[in-house]
A and B are shown apart, each in its own frame.
Chain A
Amino acid sequence: MRKTVALTLTVLMLSLSVVSVMAKTFGDGITLEKMTSVSELLENGDAYVGQRVQVRGMIVDVCASRGCWIYVAGEKPFEKIRVKVKDGEIIFPLEARGIEAVVEGTLEKFDLSREEVIQRKRHHAEEQGKEFDPATVTSGKIFFQIRGLGALIEGI
């Protein structure tokens, strides 16, 4: 009996260990030939809302709990764009932080009230296990986000 249990566990662990978890392509992968800069999307986003776009840049942050969003750095200082994917559809690994990626998805525009910004930031802080002070939010916010459909992450 003991031998059977040990053998079953060994087979289970070996089966799990051969599963590749180092996938380079996520979701649909890359389909577009033309890349759009993050700066362009942040500055002239209205022209791209609803369109499939491709951006390239360093992944600067990843959702630690579900891998359901990333931030991609822009070309200019302090620029970044959020890429949100459906929970479970694409899971970005935490190891992707600091790595170059090509990401594709549909551009969305958000026009949030102050309360909505607080709700979002509170949720974000909870995910990251950090504290959040609602007093730091003084107004609503308009921003662009990519609804992620596919990505290619180099060297992961």
Chain B
Amino acid sequence: MNWRRLNHSLHRDIGFLCIGLTLLYALSGIAVNHMHDWNANYSIEQFNLQIDPLPPGVVNSTQIQQILRQLGETRISKKHFQPDPENLWLYADKRMIRIHLPSGNVQAEKSQRRPFWYRLNFLHLNHAKQAWTWVADIYAGGLFLLALTGMLLLPKRADLKRRALMLSLSGIVIPVFFLLLYY
């Protein structure tokens, strides 16, 4: 087997091997980049409600039960926190309820994991650690080999050779340009 054939086979097989992980990292990469515009990990629904106003201060358990009754909560939650005398935060079943006592304004928030995206980001951001770090390192090595073998896939036709060179150079120049621009 000559080196061209070996290089081509390596490029093809590593390419196949990298398909799944490339899709994972690419999809999650877009999601993570745009986290400020769209929360890929959770879908969060917010509801505004109104209850009777309460005087500011430390809220007791009787008042909390009254609030929960007004909110139609059947499950009485003992988990609560007051960030200041005017606000009360309640926690119940994946929900957080923020109450402004003097106005009686209630903001309820229900969060739900997006199963697909959460898991994708979990792997992309290496939250798994342990053996997954090795998988990610091997994948990075695979991409490195893919680039190296890709550079040696020189086409025989002169016009294609020129195109290959231009595209390869663009891929190098683009990050360098942004580095010079922002760094």
Complex CA–CA separation, A78 to B36 (angstroms): 29
Are the C-beta atoms of A98 and B58 separated by less than 8 Å? no
What is the CA–CA distance of A58 and B79 in the complex, to the nearest angstrom? 9
B116, A16: Cβ atoms closer than 8 Å: yes
- Among A21, A88, A126, the residue within 8 A (CB) of B118 is A21
A1 at the interface (CB under 8 A from B): no
CB <8 Å contact, B39 and A77: no
**How many chain-B residues does the 8 Å CB contact rule pick out?**
32
Measured between beta carbons, the chain A residues less than 8 angstroms from B122 are 19, 21, 91
Partner of B35, one of A17, A65, A97, A98: A65
How far is the CB of B91 from the nearest CB of chain A, in Å? 3
A42 to chain B, nearest CB (A): 13
Does B111 have its Cβ within 8 Å of any Cβ on chain A? yes
CB neighbors of B among A76-132 (8 A)? 77-78, 80, 88, 91, 94-95, 97-98, 126-127, 129
**B residues 122-150 in Cβ contact with A at 8 Å:** 122-123, 125-128
Give the contacts of A1-55 with B (CB-CB under 8 A): 12, 16-17, 19-21, 23
Is A141 in the interface zone, CB < 8 Å from B?
no
Q: Tell me if B13 is interfacial: C-beta within 8 Å of chain A.
A: no
From known contacts A65-B35, A94-B42, infer whether A21 and B83 are also in contact, taking CB-CB under 8 Å: no
Complex contact A60–B111 (CB within 8 A): no
Q: Residue-by-residue, is B57-95 near A (CB-CB < 8 Å gives 1, otherwise 0)?
A: 010000000000000000001010111110001011010
Task: Known A19-B122, A21-B122, A66-B35; judge A98-B79 contact (CB<8 A).
Answer: yes
Query: How many angstroms from the CA of A126 to the CA of B36 in the assembled complex?
Result: 8
Q: Which residues of A contact B85 (CB under 8 A)?
A: 78
Question: Would you give the shortest CB distance from B39 to chain A, in whole angstroms?
Answer: 6
Whether A150 is near chain B, meaning CB under 8 Å from some CB there, is no
Decide yes or no: A65 and B111 within 8 Å by CB, A19-B123, A91-B125, A98-B96 being known contacts: no
Q: Which residues of B contact A (CB under 8 A)?
A: 20, 35-36, 39, 41-42, 44, 58, 77, 79, 81-85, 89, 91-92, 94, 96, 111, 113, 116, 118-120, 122-123, 125-128
Can you add 18 more A-B contacts, CB < 8 Å, to A16-B120, A78-B83?
Answer: A12-B20, A16-B119, A19-B119, A19-B123, A19-B128, A58-B79, A60-B83, A64-B39, A65-B39, A66-B35, A78-B84, A80-B83, A94-B41, A94-B42, A94-B113, A97-B91, A98-B91, A98-B92
